[in-house]
Copies of this chain bind each other. A is one copy, B any other.
């Protein structure tokens, strides 16, 4: 990731966002319950070809995501460097458990590895239609010793 200038929030380029999505495997999906209430669930994922793939068991996450607009987010915060970033994906989720030819057939071979226990036989792909990212570095703090000397 490019080194952000201190004290301002910067927009991440498309390439940076894609790299961040490729370099991580834990994100969060947001779905909407009953048309008004957003819910957030952490998921392990694999990203390629503009599609985020995760696996899940039957339940709320599956019911509310299929065929719907969903949000997907990854972020990071390094307290030592004072650098933070986040990438937000907007897309539509589709069931790819029973793939119908390419490209969904290929996706079923992607290394999607949930760390949570339990059978997760449903495969879901989020086709990204918008990917944006922001990063920042906190204002440089003067080291205490230097401050005393100044």
Question: Of the 9-residue stretches A13-21, A27-35, A102-110, which lies at the interface with chain B?
Answer: A27-35
The answer to whether A11 has its CB under 8 Å from any CB of chain B is: no
Which of A31, A40, A117: most chain B CB closer than 10 A? A40
What is the size, in residues, of chain A's interface with B at 8 Å between Cβ atoms? Answer: 38
Cβ-defined contact, B30 with A38, below 8 A: yes
Instruction: Tell me, in angstroms, the Cα distance from A26 to B36 when the chains sit together.
Output: 24
How many monomers of this protein are in the complex?
Answer: 2
CB distance from A124 to the nearest CB of B (A): 15
Cβ-defined contact, B7 with A28, below 8 A: no
The answer to whether A84 has its CB under 8 Å from any CB of chain B is: yes
Cβ-defined contact, A69 with B28, below 8 A: no
The answer to whether A99 has its CB under 8 Å from any CB of chain B is: no
User: Hey, which chain B residues are within 8 Å of A1, CB to CB?
Assistant: none
Instruction: Tell me, in angstroms, the Cα distance from A88 to B9 when the chains sit together.
Output: 27
